[in-house]
Amino acid sequence: MEVKTVGVYGAGLMGRGIAQVALEGGYDVVLYNHRTPTLEKGVAGIKKGFEKKVAKGKITQEQADGWLGHLKATIELEDLKDVDIVFEAMVENMALKKEAFAKMAPIIKPEAIFVSNTSSLSITELAAASQRPEKFLGMHFFSPVPAMKLVEIINAYDTSEDTIETGKAVAKGFGKEFVTVTDVPMFIANRVMCPMMNEAAILAGENVCSYEDIDKACELGYNLPMGPLKLADAIGIDVMIEVMESLYQETADSKYRPAHLYKVLYRAGRLGRKSGKGFYDYTK
Ligand X SMILES: NC(=O)c1ccc[n+]([C@@H]2O[C@H](COP(=O)([O-])OP(=O)(O)OC[C@H]3O[C@@H](n4cnc5c(N)ncnc54)[C@H](O)[C@@H]3O)[C@@H](O)[C@H]2O)c1
Residues 128-147 as x/- pattern, contact with ligand X by CB under 6 A? ------------xxxx----
152 has catalytic annotation: yes
Nearest approach, Cβ of residue 213 and ligand X (Å): 28
Nearest approach, Cβ of residue 153 and ligand X (Å): 14
Q: Is 116 helix (H, G, I), strand (E, B) or coil?
A: strand
Do residues 218 and 224 make contact, with C-beta atoms less than 8 angstroms apart? yes
Give which of 131, 130, 149 is closest to 140, Cα–Cα: 149
Count of all residues that appear for the chain in the document: 284
Cβ-count burial 17-55 (b if 16+ within 10 Å, e if not)? bbbbbbbbbebbbbbbbeeeebbeebbebbbebbeebee
Is residue 22 close enough to count as binding ligand X by CB under 6 A? no
Q: Is 54 helix (H, G, I), strand (E, B) or coil?
A: helix
Pick 143 or 210: Cβ nearer ligand X:
143
Is residue 35 close enough to count as binding ligand X by CB under 6 A? yes
The one among 34, 53, 70, 191 contacting ligand X by CB under 6 A: 34
The one among 5, 20, 33, 122 contacting ligand X by CB under 6 A: 33
Is residue 86 close enough to count as binding ligand X by CB under 6 A? no
Nearest approach, Cβ of residue 172 and ligand X (Å): 19
Q: Concatenate the DSSP letters of all residues of 207-232 into one string.
A: TSS-HHHHHHHHHHHH--SS-HHHHH
User: Which residues sit at the interface with ligand X, rule CB under 6 A?
Assistant: 10-15, 33-35, 38, 89-92, 96, 117-119, 140-143
